[in-house]
Every structure is written in structure tokens, then in C-alpha cells.
Amino acid sequence: MQPKDIAKDTAKVVQNFLTYKAVQLVIAQLAETNPSESIWLRQYSSGGKLRDAEVYLRDIMSEPRGKELALRIMTVRDSMAEQTLEFLPEIIASGVKKDNLAHRRHLLERLTQSPDETINLDPSEANSETEDSD
Amino acid sequence: MQPKDIAKDTAKVVQNFLTYKAVQLVIAQLAETNPSESIWLRQYSSGGKLRDAEVYLRDIMSEPRGKELALRIMTVRDSMAEQTLEFLPEIIASGVKKDNLAHRRHLLERLTQSPDETINLDPSEANSETEDSD
């Protein structure tokens, strides 16, 4: 698995997710301005149809009321991409590191927790013990 | 929906996906070096357990053979994040734009395709006709 392939697969996942978010936003906007259209779009988009965003968009365009909705969804996802992408690498990198650290801490706590009586038996090892124990 | 919230939600999706990719890679590596461990990890990771990566990692750590695997998966996802994130914004942005363009073209083709005879009847309306007609 090459980094470029992983990046490509990840980008596809993000594109699907942004499309899903765009559809959600358009549904919410339409609920204010055109409730029946909002309900139609909500129903049309259910049942896992959004798993592949490009198939979804292609399909919705063949619906009589779907053409304008598709154009609107595409505009929204494009603007979402523009607004969010700059933050993304930093948020992901720090998220992975933060959660990895939390898991390692949790594991260390569990590994040092059980037999309390084995800790600090030998004072010469106290420093290294206190660093590892919880 | 604020851009920061969308970025945060998207980052979570990417973190889950990178963890899924990391698990796949570790399974593939173990298939060479430790087939029984590979099979165990594949079976453990099935059934949608990877939908929430942090819950998955927390849970696998409580398995006797899961601690080292969890540490390995975390190392792999961290390195995947480091290797792929720099490419990500550009790939996503250009992917969305490319696919949006393809959908718009497809729509335009369909709108101008059907009643061939109505097109260019009146040369003065030709431009608006090709854009609006069905």
C-alpha cells in the first residue's frame, strides 16, 4: 500500500462525506424555504444511497426535480471543501497523536495497576517504578 | 454548520478510515510472519467493529493478544497520517471540482440531447434554448 494510494482512497472517503454533509445542509435549508422539496430530498437520500456520492449525483439528475438539487448540492460541497480543507491535515494529525497517547496511557495504567504489592519493594528502583506505575 | 465543525467531523471520518487501513496493513503483514495472529485479527476486526476506531482500539487492548496489536496499529496509522496528509487537500479539492464538472457536462448533454428538432429553430434563441431546454 503506497502513501499515494492511501491518500487517494482517503480523498474519496472525504468527498463522499462532504457530499453527505452538503445534502444534509440543503435539506435543512429547504426545510425553511420549500418543505415539500426538503422532505422529498430527505426521502430520496435515505437507504445508503449516499455511500457513493458520484453515483448518487448521477442518479438524482435523472429525477424530474433532481437536476437543480444536484447542482445546488455540488455547489455546496465545493464550497465546503474550500472552507474546510485548510484545517484538515492539522486536525487529523493532532487527533491521531492525541488519541494514540490516550490509548497508550490507558494501557500503561492497566498494565501497572493489577499487583499493587509488587511496586516499591526495592527502593533503589523507586524512580523507574514511579515513572511507569500509575 | 460551521466550517470548523465540518472539518472536525471530516477529520474523525479520516481518522477512522486510516485506522481501518492500518488494521488491513497489519493483517497483511502478519499473514507473512504470523498467520494465526493474522486470522485472529481479521476475525476480531470484522462485523463493523472498526466504525469507531477509538472504541475498537480500547476494546482490543482488553484482549490478551490485543495489546501489542493495538500498539502496532496505532504506530501504523500515525505513520500513514504523516505520509498522506500533505497530499490530501489538493487531491480532495481537485477531485470535487473534476467530478462536479463531469456531472454538469453530463446534465448539459442530457438537457440538449432529447428534442433535436427544437434546437436552433430560432437562431436568436439558440443560446438560451440549449441551456434551458429538456
pTM of the model: 0.81
Chains A, B: CB pairs < 8 Å? 159
Q: What angle do CA A97, A100, A102 make, to 5 degrees?
A: 110
Residue type, A121: L
Residue A40 and residue A125: Cα distance in Å, rounded?
69
Q: Cα-Cα-Cα-Cα dihedral of A107, A109, A114, A117, to 10°? A: 140
Q: Which residues of A, range 50-79, sit inside 8 Å of B by Cβ?
A: 53-54, 57-58, 61-62, 67, 70-71, 74, 77-78
Per-residue pLDDT of chain A (134 residues; tens, 9 = 90+): 688 899 999 999 999 999 999 999 999 999 999 999 999 999 999 999 999 999 999 999 999 999 999 999 999 999 999 999 988 999 999 999 999 999 999 999 988 876 554 444 444 444 444 444 43
ipTM rounded to 2 decimals: 0.80
**If DSSP states are collapsed to H, E and C, what string results for chain B?**
CCHHHHHHHHHHHHHHHHHHHHHHHHHHHHHHHCHHHHHHHHHHCCCCHHHCHHHHHHHHCCCCCHHHHHHHHHHHHHHHHHHHCCCHHHHHHHHHHHHHHHHHHHHHHHHHHCCHHHCCCCHHHHHHHHHHCC
Tens digit of each residue's pLDDT (9 = 90 or more) over B62-92: 999 999 999 999 999 999 999 999 889 999 9
Name which of A10, A78, A88 is nearest B96 (Cβ-Cβ). A78
Tell me phi and psi for residue B61, to 5 degrees: -65, -20
Tens digit of each residue's pLDDT (9 = 90 or more) over B9-63: 999 999 999 999 999 999 999 999 999 999 999 999 999 999 999 999 999 999 9
Q: Is B11 on the interface with A (CB under 8 A)?
A: yes
- In chain B, residues under CATH classification 1.10.1200.210 are 3-84
**Any idea which fold A3-84 has?**
1.10.1200
Q: Is A25 on the interface with B (CB under 8 A)?
A: yes
Residue B46: count of CB within 10 angstroms of its CB: 9
CA distance B128 to chain A (A): 17
Residue B113 and residue B117: Cα distance in Å, rounded?
10
Q: Please indicate whether, in this complex, the C-beta atoms of B9 and A3 are within 8 angstroms of each other.
A: no
Q: Which residues of B touch A58 (CB under 8 A)?
A: 103, 106
Q: Is B109 on the interface with A (CB under 8 A)?
A: no
Q: Which residues of B touch A77 (CB under 8 A)?
A: 96, 100
